[in-house]
Structure 1
Amino acid sequence: MSVDAPYELLEALEPGIARVLAHNPSAFTYYGTQTYLIGEEEVAVVDPGPDLPEHIEALLRAIGDRRIAAIMCTHTHRDHSPAARPLADATGALIVGCAPLALESVGPRADAAFDGDYSPHRVLEDGEAIEVDGRAVTAVATPGHTSNHLCFAVGDALLTGDHVMGWSTTVVVPPDGDMAAYMASLDKLRQRHDRVFYPAHGPPVPNPQRYVRSLMIHRMQRENQILRLVAEQPRDVPDIVANAYPGLDSRLVAAAGGSVLAHLVDLEKRALVVREGETWSKAA
């Protein structure tokens, strides 16, 4: 993707897969949310994005007079699903994909708050597919970033939502974010044979299996680092973040704390650390 981010324009990535970039850049969304259009004669709209009038208008222009087979959402964070309802109202298309999920406590970023208005016409289970323009679009359940997260397989391409991003590691924040589930979902993708990943944020990933292995190694290294730190002395999450992420952008400190907490909760379940109040120590 070019640095000058061509917002609100339809860009063809390969036959039958194109994208429109929403103008919602941030420290968490990179240049913004990429909405994908699958198909040519008819289309599915994947991750319609934030409810921004200019983005919805851009999607309607990109769709033109083509039939919309479905509006599909990977998960229900507010930078992914809110445009589904106005787009459905404008076109009559059905909303299909992840299950509804809305929590009161949503972690460190405003744009990641859950979309409480999301109401799908059909929820896809792992392995379920719909036909779009003669091709199957198949749901691949990938819980971890959120418990309701899906990826969508189109031939040998995989639309990965926020489970795998092309520019950064994924934020995993309890209570809904689950590090053990996230790692299991990464391993699930590692065992697939996709040619390319198309994330909701960041450039395409042309070597998916190698990239997924690198993400898993990164998380295992972070886990070992956290274990070393709490073995030195009991620590709370802010102390772990300060030592594990030196020089971290202040905008990302809360998100890093969420991921550290997700690691600690997983380690606690595996009886490798113990918690006393807000302080964590290595298990005896």
Structure 2
Amino acid sequence: MSDTDDIPFNRDFPLKPGVVDEVRPGVRRILCNNPSPFTFTGTVSYIIGRGKVAIVDPGPDNDAHASALLDAVRGETVTHILVTHTHRDHSPNTARLKAATGAIVYAEGPHRASRPYYESEKISTESGADREFRPDEQVRDGETIAGDGWTLQAVATPGHTANHLAFAWPERKLMFIGDHVMGWSTSIVAPPDGSMVDYMASLQKLTLRDEDLYFSGHGPEIPDAPRYVRFLIRHRRAREASILHRLAKGEADIPTMVRAIYIGIDPRLTGAAGYSVLAHLEDLVGRGVVATDGDPAIGASYRLA
């Protein structure tokens, strides 16, 4: 089975960089020109409201994108900057926008790992963490942020990163979901930056909420969102089953498992796939289903317990 057979991905996203698209009343979006195998066509920033507005996820360190955002709100006042998480494709442009607007920056907190680093691990730059970021206001799960004509609720959704926050607009039944859920691909969960245990718990949490339209950090909006989230949950459980199926044939390292499980994967994504397998293995070792000698790290070998 291919990596995508069980999820109705939507890769139809014709938005061009720098173009202001009012996708719903009170919701504008602008695409940054930073395409890659990890960012799809680029990072999407959102403008909420009219007159006095909030900007969600200012994007990477990109002067052209900052200028496009500021041009889009010319004649308006940016009162809030909301950051879903601290990867380098989402938060670094915050400093430019704050300097230009004086807006208050809201986020869960600075970047941190989901768990302590093992002795065998060196601090990896693969996750692209923005370690300089500091919000003006730290926001906790369930807290509300109010502006002119809108009130958003913070929804803690750790997993992709430890500090990942979504911002729900309950009155409109929509949510700015960051990278926790994407319509074009599954999200990367790469320990120790990310945690599969946290990620799955956050997906389950979303299925209990009423918002049925998600605006993601990359790619198109996601309608019928709770149903899509249930697809993602089934997909991750199938991935876990594939890992266990491979380990039933004998002990294996992570590259061996990636070759067995991710058929036809873009070669540029094999490293990320390995970390996703590691995230599942951490969970399985924690539950006593899988065993390894020493820490469940990227270079370890694994077997059924």
Q: Call closer, same or farther: CA 1:107–1:223 in 2, change over 3 Å.
A: farther
Equivalent residue for 2:272, pick from 250, 255, 272? 255
1:225 maps to 242
Q: Call closer, same or farther: CA 1:153–1:26 in 2, change over 3 Å.
A: same
- Please report how far the alpha carbon of residue 58 of structure 1 lies from its aligned counterpart in structure 2 after TM superposition: 0.3
Q: Distance in 2 between matches of 1:56 and 1:107?
A: 24
Q: Does 1:98 align with 2:104?
A: no
- Please report how far the alpha carbon of residue 86 of structure 1 lies from its aligned counterpart in structure 2 after TM superposition: 1.0
Asked if the contact 1:10–1:62 (Cα under 8 Å) also holds between the matched residues in 2, the reply is yes
2:144 maps to 129
1:182 maps to 199
1:69 maps to 79
Task: Tell me the amino acid that sits aligned with residue 178 of structure 1.
Answer: S
Q: Call closer, same or farther: CA 1:2–1:54 in 2, change over 3 Å.
A: farther
In structure 2, stretches of 5+ residues that fail to align are 1-10, 114-121, 295-299
Q: Distance in 2 between matches of 1:249 and 1:193?
A: 35
1:147 partner SS: coil
Number of aligned residues: 280
Asked if the contact 2:13–2:219 (Cα under 8 Å) also holds between the matched residues in 1, the reply is no
In structure 1, stretches of 5+ residues that fail to align are none
Q: Distance in 2 between matches of 1:73 and 1:93?
A: 12
Asked if the contact 2:47–2:56 (Cα under 8 Å) also holds between the matched residues in 1, the reply is yes
1:43 maps to 53
After superposition, where does 1:47-62 map in structure 2 within 5 Å? Answer: 47-62=57-72
Q: Which 4+ residue blocks in structure 1 deviate beyond 3 angstroms?
A: 1-5
Task: Tell me the amino acid that sits aligned with residue 167 of structure 2.
Answer: F
1:115 maps to 130
Q: Does 1:141 align with 2:156?
A: yes
- Per mean C-alpha deviation after superposition, the further-off stretch among 72-81 and 243-252 is 243-252
Of structures 1 and 2, the one scoring higher in RCO (CA 8 A, sep 6+) is: 2
Equivalent residue for 1:192, pick from 181, 199, 209? 209
- Please report how far the alpha carbon of residue 240 of structure 1 lies from its aligned counterpart in structure 2 after TM superposition: 0.3
1:232 partner SS: coil
CA displacement, residues 230-275 of structure 1 (integer Å, 9 cap, x when unaligned): 1210000000001001221110000000000000000000000001
TM-score (norm 2): 0.89
Superposition CA RMSD, Å: 1.4
Q: Does 1:165 align with 2:182?
A: yes
2:304 maps to 282
Q: Distance in 1 between matches of 2:123 and 2:204?
A: 28
